[in-house]
Structure 1
């Protein structure tokens, strides 16, 4: 389908002009380093919710996980429920309020800064900052790839050029406008995303003969499940895989649990709570955020699975086969083949909005972690605004370079990897920090180290999706994974997070027993 270059150019120019204007508004209202990092701590509830949702839902959800749904079916929709429950309700009502209160009291400006001040520990601040700086570029690159793949498919644009366009436009308003610019642009982009995905859902159901006909047709395709998928547990696109089969373990442990739980420990999302004026603002943000999450990933996963009906009717092929075996290309191909020109342009803007909203938050989080929590902490000096902007630029360049070398079908996996790492390393220590009256620094540090190391070891030596391409296991042990099936498809999160929790509990209990004994001995001596 030929998309009108003039239509695309006009719409894109208007979109970019609005984004840059909002970035300029953020720039004008950013007076110092703290404003740059936390947007003045007085952000409106609607802006918090829309910015949070737009940061959370990116091209990873629309392109990456939409492609996973095309391959593995609608079982992934369980992730939407977890995202709403953990990512919105639990995150805002339980974690968000405590984070806001403590962050404001301690005047913390980043997630590592918050952890360092709660535990009065340079190690905690360094460690959290280092994990962000090392791990977040993986997720950032996956987001850029999602948008670039759609531009490449739609406009026959060079993939490398598409990546540079994404990075350059986003970099302008993030570097100059800080978090307030990010929140303003995120909110605008969230509205575009809601509009685009709503129209996509309606168009898809109309083109497939209605809701009932579309889902019945997909259910009736169960016999067409490829032998390679059927042999590993897949039963159809409207049913869950066989329990504890390799595909079930991948779907449940990596995608549903990895992303569903991992959202609670995302540094770029936690910072949003610290921008709220009061607890009421967080309460008011919940319904808006919940609706946003329902519409964005819910629609993407539903449409992803239904593309099998469309491609089979039009081409006699399943969706992934029609896309040349690359799950990241399913949604772009479906949009280009099935939708009118004007919607292709609208969806292009939807993806631009999804990618840029998440990219801006990730760029900001990486840069501020590098400059404030590593560079600034090492120098024992608060970084200047110029230094902060320079480090944001450095992390943008690192992420772009990484995107050039990432393999195909990587978007969903890279997202799940980063969220799993954050959950294993951060979640127990973060929970302990904000809910314990006397949080133990030793327990938190031990938990963070054990969680991060366990996650890496399982990733490098057991989880076949990563251990095989990494090649470390093959180099050291002569095999791609050191454990047999089904361990090879059990996500690192399922192993690392429990170990992290157990470590924190054990060290904390030992420390409390030791302290009690010392206090008793001191009393007896008196």
Structure 2
């Protein structure tokens, strides 16, 4: 307990200091919303990485790796290829330039101004405001589960306390406070995750011995998972099996592709002053992703060796089916108390960095996108920062209510849900906004609505992971999914994204283009 108190006090003191630093350096609306567009590339890289990778990756997907094995390491590959290289090079540079040219301060505002549509900005802000709290709650559940296991504090108490701590410095520090604290938290995450990765492989006898020992546990895989296509912790699921479709389309592609449409990440590109700073951010961000998700997924799978050696059970059996408790229990059981305390601080850092960005995005969606631009029709108001803070308070209560009613083993599922929804809704309009001058307001509007509705309906009625929990399909049709294999295992984004893309192109070719003056302004630096 002494270690935990010491580490926590030092961590919170540093976090409060960086939040205060952001508050002192925030004097304008641009400072509060975009950190004055003068962010250092290393700060941006750490802030982007720690916002992207949170407790949902360490706790949720780490626990999922314990269940499905090394197949999830392909997500790390997509995290780096799509979430870093494509996101920065293909989208980031043009986003920075167009955002500055259009004086856009949020992702919905970028789309709204590019397509001359307050509806697009307002609707995009509303999607964020309604659905991002699900993802935010998932991240808080991850850290709260560890606190529950390590300290014996009731889950609801841990959830509420951590939620309030995170909200404080976001409300006052704006995006500068978020970025400063996220960079500091990112350093902690890398150091401790590298430590847990090295120590886990060392205890397993090295990579070769560890992977061999994991392969030897294949015979212990439960029959129901074998029936779904599970072939072992070091193998991919059987091709075409229900588990293969689920792991590939939801856990890997759903999150790996959906990252491009994440509003809290897109806005990071608009904080840099030049392409040079953005280029310098790429290697730092890629290494961050590798040292966090790569290690978390590997350690998650390897926990089966340790739990079987200690208890004669696989990881998921040791936690009675709640995979969100696997990583917390592994660290609490097999590591000294000082390391467990350091890991708890790491999870605090991961949760705070991601949640702070999401709270900030939620607040700006309410103030800038819905209140100022959509409802007041673009009339600038001096109270924007105040309304943003009100929006953050609203998001806190939404996150609290959602987090307390979500079922167990939901962290990875809720993350995939939000990434998939954003990907299908925003990616086509975002891509064509940056690259196709012929893209029209009607094309973007129709694409966004189709992507959103197809994705949502697929989740409610077809994709069994969500439809079973929501229960609407069973209420209406008496079954958890209206479709059979493999459709009930295919992620909504895999279906909705192509539909959204085709709709955008067809409708744009049939409707009037955006004004020439708007296009000249939007593309003047590109």
User: What TM-score results when the alignment is normalised by the length of structure 2?
Assistant: 0.95
> In structure 1, how many angstroms separate the alpha carbons of the residues matched to 2:305 and 2:430?
44
CA contact (8 A) 2:63 2:325 kept: yes
- In 2: Cα distance, 1:401 partner to 1:244 partner: 38
The separation in 2 between residues aligned to 1:479 and 1:228, in whole angstroms, is 19
Q: Distance in 2 between matches of 1:138 and 1:328?
A: 16
**Residue-by-residue CA offset, 1:349-370 (whole Å, 9 max, x unaligned):** 1100000000000000011101
Tell me, in whole angstroms, the C-alpha distance in 2 between the residues paired with 1:234 and 1:24. Answer: 50
CA offset digits 1:361-404 (Å, max 9, x no partner): 00000111011111112023334222221211111121112111
Q: Tell whether the 8 Å contact from 2:32 to 2:176 is kept in structure 1 after alignment.
A: yes
Query: Do the aligned residues in 1 keep the contact of 2:440 with 2:512 (CA within 8 Å)?
Result: no
Give the Cα–Cα distance (whole angstroms) in 2 for the partners of residues 221 and 310 of structure 1.
11
Instruction: Determine the structure 2 residue equivalent to 1:118.
Output: 114
Match of residue 338 from structure 2: 342
- 1:84 maps to which residue? 80
The range that moved more, 38-47 or 503-512, is 503-512
Distance 1:216 1:330 in 2: 21
Match of 2:329 among 330, 333, 336: 333
Aligned to 1:413: 413
- 2:348 aligned to 329, 347, 352, which one? 352
Q: Deviations over 1:271-330 (max 9, x none)?
A: 000000101000000000000001100000000000011111111000100011111000
Give the Cα separation in 1 of the matches to 2:184 and 2:203.
29
Residue number among 315, 322, 337 corresponding to 1:319 in the alignment: 315
Q: Which residue of 2 aligns with 1:251?
A: 247
* 3-state DSSP of counterpart to 2:511: helix
In the alignment, which residue of structure 2 is the partner of 1:382?
380
- Of the three residues 148, 155, 158, the one matched with 1:162 is 158
The count of aligned residue pairs is: 510
Distance in 1 of aligned mates of 2:396 and 2:326: 27
Scaled by the length of structure 1, the TM-score of the pair is 0.95
Of residues 133, 137, 140, the one that matches 2:136 is 140
Match of 1:443 in 2: 443
Map of 1:274 onto structure 2? 270
User: What RMSD in Å do the two structures reach over aligned CA positions?
Assistant: 1.2
After superposition, give the CA deviation of every residue in 1:482-513 in whole Å (9 maximum; x if it has no partner): 11222111111111111111111221233379
Q: Is the 8 A contact 1:171 1:360 kept in 2?
A: yes
Q: Which residue of 2 aligns with 1:396?
A: 396
2: CA distance between counterparts of 1:251 and 1:361?
27
Correspondence list, 1:141-290, <5 A:
141-290=137-286
Q: Is the 8 A contact 2:366 2:387 kept in 1?
A: no
Once residues 466 and 488 of structure 2 are traced to their aligned partners in structure 1, the CA distance between those partners, rounded to angstroms, is: 10
**Alpha-carbon shift at residue 258 of structure 1 (Å):** 0.4
Matched, 1:18 2:18: no
**Secondary structure, in 3 states, of the residue corresponding to 2:442?**
helix
Distance in structure 2 (CA, Å) of the matches to 1:512 and 1:175: 42
